[in-house]
């Protein structure tokens, strides 16, 4: 009772940390009993607890004895499985080196014990109160759709994808995908039987050289290429200069187009890699007998990085999916989970 009284005298400080591939983002909210009083956000070019990052966190946590540090789990050895029964957990994967927790008595999320220890060690100077699974963030972000739809749900981060399939709040499948892992494309091969089916003697598949009027065509080319029709040597010079200007202009346009392509190429490659991983995961879902397979028609994407239109196009045209995209402010969503834990 006394602690509740003291808590009412101070603001509550929620510090939320999201570590990406090359930077760390810190999002902080100051709360009173009823609402958010203020919020702050800063990104740092390190993926560890640097002096600048430590001082930034300390600057805000010293304002209240009631502060809480949350980190989004970025372990590559994490995932989710469609059961909370301890007897059935091992049916899906070996959890002997993992920490795991049941979510709303419906499904289980897990992560590596060693990676958890590593995160706690990195941030031991500020202390860690919560380490949240991206699958929990995903489930909360799309709770309005997950409870009533059969669909695939994705949380896209800089180098990872948290992929899940839900059917009216029942988890059917989940996988944590690392986009830095290369996926081999299956080449389109022509079967030797298909080659045998091609009739090389078929007139429709060949060109009859006898049908070409070679001499007549050459005469026509001579008429077209006769430069004697040009009025003078001056005309030739003007023609040459005009051609040089056109070629120079075309060269400039080509160089500008090349620069634009270089700027877009990274996004293109990243989204194509994401598409290949999603396609591979869907194939695993359909083929793996461990999972209750349902045909997927819709996909909801929580986009925290700003994906290009290419990913949507790949999913629609190659996998015939209906694609819905929501922008997601990941550090703020982590903060929402922290509020739920503290309420």
Q: What is the pLDDT of residue 5?
A: 64
Cβ pair 107, 153 in contact under 8 A: no
How far apart CA 227 and CA 310 sit, in angstroms, is 49
Lateral strand order in the sheet of 98-103: 79-81, 107-112, 98-103
Tell me what pLDDT residue 251 has.
52
CATH topology of domain 9-184+266-342: Nucleotidyltransferase; domain 5 (3.30.420)
The beta strand positions in the chain, using DSSP E, are 12-19, 24-31, 36-44, 67-72, 79-81, 98-103, 107-112, 130-132, 150-156, 160-167, 170-178, 298-303, 322-327
The tens digit of pLDDT for each residue in 289-303 reads 999 999 999 999 999
pLDDT value, residue 9: 80
User: What is this structure's pTM?
Assistant: 0.76
| CB of 49 closer than 8 Å to CB of 122 | yes
Could you say which DSSP state residue 211 is in?
G
Can you give the pLDDT at residue 343? 87
Counting as low any pLDDT under 70, the low residues of the chain are 1-6, 183-268
Query: Does residue 335 contact residue 29 with C-beta atoms inside 8 Å?
Result: yes
pLDDT score recorded for residue 265: 54
Please give the Cα distance from 304 to 158 (Å, whole number): 8
């Amino acid at each position: 009772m006394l602690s509740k009284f003291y808590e009412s005298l101070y603001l509550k400080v929620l510090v939320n940390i999201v570590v990406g591939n090359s930077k760390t983002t810190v999002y902080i909210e100051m709360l009173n009993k009823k609402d958010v009083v203020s919020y702050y956000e800063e990104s740092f070019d390190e993926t560890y607890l640097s002096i600048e990052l430590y001082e930034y966190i300390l600057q805000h946590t010293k304002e209240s004895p009631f502060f809480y540090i949350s980190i989004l789990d970025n372990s590559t050895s994490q995932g989710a499985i469609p059961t909370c029964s301890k007897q059935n957990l091992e049916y899906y994967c070996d959890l002997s080196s993992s920490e795991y927790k049941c979510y709303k008595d419906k499904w289980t999320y897990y992560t590596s014990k060693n990676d958890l220890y590593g995160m706690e060690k990195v941030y031991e100077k500020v202390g860690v109160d919560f380490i949240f699974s991206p699958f929990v963030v995903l489930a909360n972000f799309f709770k309005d759709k997950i409870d009533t739809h059969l669909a695939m749900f994705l949380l896209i981060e800089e180098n990872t994808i948290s992929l899940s399939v839900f059917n009216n709040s029942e988890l059917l499948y989940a996988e944590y995908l690392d986009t830095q892992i290369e996926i081999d494309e299956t080449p389109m091969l022509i079967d030797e039987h298909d080659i045998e089916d091609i009739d090389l003697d078929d007139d429709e598949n060949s060109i009859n050289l006898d049908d070409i009027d070679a001499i007549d065509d050459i005469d026509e080319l001579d008429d077209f290429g006769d430069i004697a029709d040009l009025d003078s040597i001056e005309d030739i010079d003007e023609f040459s200069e005009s051609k040089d200007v056109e070629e120079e202009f075309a060269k400039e346009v080509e160089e500008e187009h090349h620069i634009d392509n270089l700027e877009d190429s990274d996004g293109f490659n990243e989204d194509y890699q994401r598409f290949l991983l999603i396609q591979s995961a869907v194939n695993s879902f359909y083929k793996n007998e461990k999972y209750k397979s349902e045909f997927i028609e819709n996909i909801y994407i929580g986009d925290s990085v700003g994906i290009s239109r290419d990913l949507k196009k790949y999913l629609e045209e190659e996998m015939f999916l209906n694609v819905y995209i929501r922008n997601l402010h990941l550090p703020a969503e982590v903060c929402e989970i922290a509020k739920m834990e503290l309420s």
